[in-house]
Chain A
Amino acid sequence: MNELYVCKVGELDDGGVRIVGEPGHRIGVMLHDGEYLAYLNRCPHQGGPACEGMRIPQVQDVIDEAGLFVGQRYDESDLHIVCPWHGYEFHIKTGEHVCNSAVRLRKYATVVREGGIYVQY
């Protein structure tokens, strides 16, 4: 197993992302709710830089008790990574596509050691 040094703890803000690695094998490391998450920066759709896009929560249609559509809202508990090429959306915590869990970003383990963040691959 190899390790890649990302940066010092504190250099990556919550909600931020750092791209590390070599061409053809770049990894996006992000801090979300205190957890370091790492994914291959290559969308399973057409290969876009999935980690470099927006983060946006799940959109919900709101149907009231009478069965009527009354509007839309965000589910703030379910943040998505959005590939900037085409808009494929993935759950930030698992890397799974929001409509098909078989379509997923390749996930890597991260470790924090002696004040540094590392990704294992």
Chain B
Amino acid sequence: MTATAGVFREPLRKSFDTEEHLGNAYQQALERNYEDFLIVDVDSHHYETEAFGEIARYIEDPVLRDEALYQGMARGGVTSVDGSYQEMTGRVTRYPLRRHEATPPTIHRDITLMRRWMDAMGVDMACMFPTPMLNIATCPRVEVEVALARAYNRWLCDNILSEEPRLTSMLYLPFNDPESCYRMVEEFGDRKGVIGFMVTATHYKSVQDNAFVKTYAALQERGLPLGFHAAYTWGDKSTALMNRFISVHALGFVWHNMVHMTNWLMNGMPERFPRLKTLWIESGLAWVPFLMQRLDNEFMMRSSDAPLLKRKPSDYMREMFYTSQPMEMVENKEALELTFKMMKAESQLLYSSDYPHWDMDLPSTIYDLPFLQEGQKRAILGGNAQDLFKLDPHFAPWKLERQKQRAMAARG
């Protein structure tokens, strides 16, 4: 038979609509009945560059405020250290087209855009991070990092987190200034939607520095997790040897977190702060079994180098938390299954999309894994995050509606 076209559409190159872009993701959500359980995305992003004028006005120093308003916050050009070509010369279309997306004037654009992609993917709650502002970690001017971090955190709490209970964040700590990190925890630790604090991994301060002890103690006291969000920088001496983005991204996003994890363990931080929960964000999974094996092997020969540890490094690593994206999953099901087992994924792994970035993962990357039981899938997709962050669950409106319809249908 010949049918007429159900949809007759020509993809436009000058407009963008998140719901249309993620239409296939919504279809996945419906097919898998995501309305049956909570999905929490622990690492997602927005482009704060679009609201940078608002954020810059939160900078208290009037000179720096003017400088920020004049200079802006966008990534630099093709020659910049962090500019890179993450967008693959336009191949990932949401990068260049995002700014054309229309949003209603009555609600903050960032909230609208977050809701749209979350609804399409079936994500109920998200922990959101900035994008270019993660890179202020590498700014050589410490006072600029501190001022921008505080301005962003204030802006986010005042304008976004206070308005939408589905949105949360682990706030940025300006790690180049330990005293400011402590003040940041004290100032923002009780704000609505703040579920922890985060260090961008491309900092060049050692995590075991005594200067940070006060901050770790404050986080532990408040029961707020500390996240290490992976990043890359072409300014690092080792990554400066690389000439392709794939190289600096593939290694950089793992390397910097491996440095911090190793320091964290060898200096006995899990023993010194036993109630402080750490979350390792956006380094994927494959590095975890590697580092477990490597550190255990050396620890058994030279435990005198890490005398505070009472157990093997891997034992502590299995008690830490990890986000899932970018999950390495090309023809490696056996390795992936072993990785899940080694890291005790059913209780320690937290789903993350990293949307809208180029290597984002949908919930189906977890839900479709053949070696997980339904309960394990649901724990990784939302339950573990709900427990770790003590979240009050807020479901996507379409899920609540579908739950209601199914309940009514069941009653006949």
Contact = CB atoms under 8 A, between A and B. Distances in A.
A41 B358 CA distance: 19
Contact of A86 (B7, B23, B359): B359
A39 to B, nearest CB: 13
Given A19-B11, A86-B359, A49 B21 contact: yes
A18 B9 contact: yes
Contact of A47 (B3, B10, B94, B364): B364
A20 interface: yes
Interface in B13-56: 21, 23-25, 27-28, 31
B91 A82 contact: yes
A53 B359 CA distance: 16
A96 B139 CA distance: 43
B362 A5 contact: no
B2 A5 contact: yes
Interface residues of B, number: 32
Given A49-B21, A56-B91, A87 B358 contact: yes
B76 interface: no
B369 interface: no
Given A24-B27, A48-B24, A49-B24, A85 B6 contact: no
Contact of B11 (A17, A20, A42, A118): A17
Interface in B290-320: none
A46 B3 contact: no
A52 B364 CA distance: 21
A46 B8 CA distance: 24
Per DSSP, are chain B's interface residues mostly helix, strand or loop, or mixed? loop
B331 to A, nearest CB: 9
Interface string B86-110: 0011111110000000000000000
B91 A54 contact: yes
B361 interface: yes
Contacts of A20: 5-9
Contacts of B21: 49, 84
Interface-central residue, B9, B28, B91, B362, by most chain A CB under 10 Å: B91
B360 interface: yes
A22 interface: yes
A2 B27 contact: no
Contact of B10 (A3, A19, A41): A19
B408 interface: no
Nearest to B11: A52
A46 B313 CA distance: 34
B1 interface: yes
B3 to A, nearest CB: 5
A17 B10 contact: yes
A118 B2 contact: yes
B263 interface: no
A4 B360 contact: no
B88 A87 contact: yes
Interface string B229-241: 0000000000000
Contacts of B27: 23-24, 47
Given A23-B23, A54-B90, A86-B358, A4 B5 contact: yes
A79 interface: no
A3 B23 CA distance: 23
Interface string A11-22: 000001111111
A37 interface: no
B332 interface: no
A21 B6 contact: yes
B3 A3 contact: yes
A98 interface: no
Contacts of A5: 2-5
Nearest to A119: B5
A92 interface: no
A87 B365 contact: no
Given A84-B94, A85-B92, A87-B92, A3 B2 contact: yes
A81 to B, nearest CB: 11
A42 B91 contact: no
Contact of B2 (A4, A7, A47): A4
Nearest to A2: B1
A7 B364 contact: no
Interface-central residue, B2, B5, B8, B88, by most chain A CB under 10 Å: B5
23 contacts: A3-B3, A4-B2, A7-B5, A16-B10, A17-B10, A18-B5, A19-B7, A20-B6, A21-B6, A22-B7, A23-B23, A23-B27, A24-B31, A42-B24, A46-B362, A47-B24, A53-B91, A54-B93, A84-B91, A85-B92, A86-B359, A87-B91, A118-B2
Interface of B: 1-11, 21, 23-25, 27-28, 31, 88-94, 358-362, 364-365
